[in-house]
């Protein structure tokens, strides 16, 4: 089965073509092409994604991205067996661009079309062939940390997800972005704070860790952001005597990393699962990876997609689409697919 994936939910315009060489194994995906155009430079000057600019950029780039994907795969639309497109959650303008072109291609090629939940793509991204030294297998706990999402799931199999918890306010990506803005660092905030934290004392400032009950798995980061604001306010953005910017950034990052790692490892032990997947852009944070390894060294095996698949891409959307395209008779009519700016992950859970 050859599947085209289209992703345009936020600030990456992406298209990918994958071939499934085994009808039942998600790890048997062969990536024929995976093309991503990032809008990072366009939004950096504003300190965050501007929805209208993102929509216009998707319109400018979607055609060339699709053309390049087909060229790299050495295929044409007529060779496809299905099309998968991000239906949500995300920015409505961007989602509509992707949906429009995906519907057109599916209609012209006379193949089924499926709308995919963006986070299900991240969830399945490690299964893409050749992406992990140790293959991931079910069951596992998934920590999904991408954009406006911070989610814990118990994944028992394909389309068999149990909801464990999520953020109650700011997602971890937002905490990094807002923290970086308060500290006068660049965008996106995660890499900016990670860079600034190098050489800093991560124990210098005792920023709060919120909701650390080991039997409950929701997150909260808005209070941490407020604590940072209060800490730097008396000095008008300058540093407290005896502290450096690196100390502040390292301590702030450590509070975020600690919360994620403690919750994720506790969730694994709570459900009796020894495998933990971390997926999404924040999964690229090296301190998070170190902290998880420290806490889980006795009994938890960690899995991460490669850095190229941590951020948004269309190969993961194609793979998630394959799960649904295997039974085309169960798909809703493509005419009914519309953008879903909000799409709670719990809708996918049993």
* pLDDT digit string, tens, across residues 216-238: 899 999 999 999 999 988 765 55
The pLDDT tens digits of the residues spanning 252-268 come to 999 999 999 999 999 99
Higher local confidence (pLDDT), 211 or 142: 142
Residue 345 has pLDDT above 70, yes or no: yes
* Cα–Cα nearest to 82, from 115, 59, 54, 50: 115
**Cα–Cα distance between 233 and 226 in angstroms, integer?**
10
The pLDDT tens digits of the residues spanning 90-141 come to 999 999 999 999 999 999 999 999 999 999 999 999 998 665 556 788 999 9
Residue 276 has pLDDT above 60, yes or no: yes
The pLDDT tens digits of the residues spanning 13-58 come to 999 999 998 778 898 899 999 999 999 999 998 989 999 999 999 9
**Cα–Cα distance between 37 and 57 in angstroms, integer?**
10
Q: Average the pLDDT over 310-321 and give the result.
A: 96
Residue 133 contacts residue 116 (beta carbons within 8 Å): no
Q: Average the pLDDT over 285-305 and give the result.
A: 95
**Cα–Cα distance between 251 and 56 in angstroms, integer?**
38
Residue 154 contacts residue 162 (beta carbons within 8 Å): yes
The pLDDT tens digits of the residues spanning 200-218 come to 999 999 999 988 777 789 9
Q: Is the dihedral of CA 102, 104, 109, 113 positive or negative?
A: positive
Q: Average the pLDDT over 57-63 and give the result.
A: 98
Distances (CA, A) of 167 to 164, 170, 185, 253: 11, 7, 24, 17
- Average pLDDT score over the chain: 93
157-195 burial code (b ≥16 CB/10 A, e <16): ebeebebbbbbeebbbbbbbbbbbbbbebebbbbbbbbe
Task: Kindly give the interhelix angle for 245-271 and 172-182, rounded to the nearest 10 degrees.
Answer: 170
pTM, two decimals, is: 0.94
Residue 332 has pLDDT above 90, yes or no: no
CB neighbours of residue 205 within 10 Å: 20
Residue 121 tokens, joined = 């793509």
Question: Which band of pLDDT confidence, cut at 50, 70 and 90, is reported for residue 76?
Answer: very high
Residue 322 has pLDDT above 90, yes or no: yes
Q: Which domains does the chain have, with CATH numbers?
A: 2-125+310-341 (3.30.420.40), 136-304 (3.30.420.40)
Question: What pLDDT does residue 23 have?
Answer: 76
- Judged by phi (left if over 0) then psi (alpha if -120 to 50, else beta), residue 132 lies in beta
The lowest-confidence range among 67-76, 134-143, 186-195, 217-226 is: 134-143
Strand order of the β-sheet with 2-7 is 29-38, 12-20, 2-7, 82-88, 113-117
Residue 250 contacts residue 204 (beta carbons within 8 Å): yes
Question: Which band of pLDDT confidence, cut at 50, 70 and 90, is reported for residue 239?
Answer: low
Question: What pLDDT does residue 242 have?
Answer: 67
* Cα–Cα nearest to 339, from 56, 6, 38, 15: 6
The pLDDT tens digits of the residues spanning 145-171 come to 987 899 999 999 999 999 999 999 999
Strands 140-146 and 149-157: antiparallel
């Amino acid at each position: 089965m050859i599947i085209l994936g289209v992703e345009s939910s936020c600030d990456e315009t992406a298209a990918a073509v994958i071939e499934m060489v085994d009808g039942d194994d998600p790890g048997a995906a062969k990536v024929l092409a995976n093309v991503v155009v990032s809008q990072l430079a366009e939004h950096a000057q504003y300190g965050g994604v501007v929805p209208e600019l993102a929509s216009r950029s998707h319109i400018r780039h979607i055609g060339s991205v699709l053309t390049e994907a087909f060229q790299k795969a050495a295929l044409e639309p007529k060779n496809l067996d299905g099309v998968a497109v991000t239906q949500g959650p995300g920015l409505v303008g961007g989602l509509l661009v992707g949906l429009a072109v995906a519907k057109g291609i599916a209609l012209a090629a006379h193949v089924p079309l499926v709308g995919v939940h963006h986070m299900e793509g991240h969830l399945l991204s490690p299964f893409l062939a050749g992406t992990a030294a140790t293959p991931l297998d079910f069951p596992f706990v998934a920590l999904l940390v991408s954009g406006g999402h911070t989610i814990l799931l118990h994944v028992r199999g394909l389309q068999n997800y149990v909801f464990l918890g999520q953020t109650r306010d700011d997602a971890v990506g937002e905490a990094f972005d807002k923290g970086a803005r308060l500290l006068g660092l660049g965008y996106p905030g995660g890499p900016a704070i990670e860079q600034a934290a190098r050489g800093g004392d991560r124990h210098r400032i005792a920023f709060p860790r919120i909701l650390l009950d080991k039997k409950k798995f929701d997150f909260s980061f808005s209070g941490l952001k407020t604590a940072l604001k209060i800490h730097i306010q008396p000095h008008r953005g300058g540093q407290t005597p005896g502290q450096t910017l690196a100390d502040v950034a390292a301590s702030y990052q450590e509070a975020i990393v600690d919360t994620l790692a403690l919750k994720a490892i506790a969730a694994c032990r709570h459900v009796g699962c020894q495998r933990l997947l971390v997926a999404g852009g924040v999964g690229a944070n090296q301190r998070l990876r170190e902290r998880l390894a420290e806490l889980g060294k006795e009994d938890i095996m960690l899995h991460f997609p490669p850095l190229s698949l941590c951020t948004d891409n269309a190969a993961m959307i194609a793979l998630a689409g394959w799960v649904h395209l295997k039974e085309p008779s169960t798909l809703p009519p493509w005419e009914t697919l519309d953008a879903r700016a909000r799409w709670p992950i719990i809708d996918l859970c049993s």
